[in-house]
Amino acid sequence: MTKEGVYEAALQELHRIEEGTSTIELIAGDILLGDVQYRTSNGWTFVVLSDGAVWDYIHSITVPSGEQLKIWPGTGEDECAALGLLQDYHPPGEQSKTIWGLL
């Protein structure tokens, strides 16, 4: 799969989380500060930077096969629409709190 394909698949996984068809589990990190790792029921890992328990941005993703890709900060090499959407992603509404456990 190309990097762009991975970014698009990661966005699809985030949408499955929003819809409740995929679940997440906190696996490492302190929600008050720094990188917080979540694993989905489909095997994806999302590392989210938390700033005072507030969602800041997705730092990296790891696909179920184990390949890890850095999302933020971008390098400029892999710019595509899907990467931009991942860099700007925030859970909708109250889902940051109700699903991800952040404020």
Q: Where are the domains of the chain?
A: 3-98
pLDDT along the chain (103 residues), means of 10: 91 97 96 93 97 93 94 73 92 94 87
Peptide bond into 64 cis (omega under 30): no
Is residue 38 within 8 A of residue 26, CB to CB? The reply is yes
The DSSP annotation for 69-90 comes to: EE-SS--STT--HHHHHHHH--
DSSP state of 63: -
Q: What is the pLDDT of residue 74?
A: 65
3-state helix, strand, coil in the chain (%, to 5): 30, 30, 40
